[in-house]
Amino acid sequence: MYEEYNIGNLSKEEQNDIQELYKNCRTFTDLISKSIDKNVPIPVDSQTIEELIKLADDIKSQNPYEDGKTDLIVKMNQLIKKIINNNQ
């Protein structure tokens, strides 16, 4: 859960960004599950997927939860929202 990662050193805006990412990741995971269940691909270009993977790697390696580098989280949120919106 999101709360497990809230260290308390983050501003309210940064905490909101992380909460939004958590919510969007859950929605994205549901979209992937439905796609697999129905055997229907998610129409996303390979560049978007590559960018999403790179952002995930950057977030993991830079630990923005401690460093306050939530720009990566904001970018990932934007990408995931774009994919979700294009598949509704």
DSSP codes, 3-25: GGG--S-S-HHHHHHHHHHHHHH
Instruction: Categorize the per-residue pLDDT at 2 as very low, low, confident or very high, splitting at 50, 70 and 90.
Output: very low
pTM of the model: 0.67
By mean pLDDT, which of 22-26, 37-41, 72-76 is the weakest?
A: 72-76
Q: Which has the higher per-residue pLDDT, 62 or 29?
A: 29
By mean pLDDT, which of 2-11, 33-42, 44-53 is the weakest?
A: 2-11
Kindly list the domain boundaries of the chain, sorted by start residue: 10-86
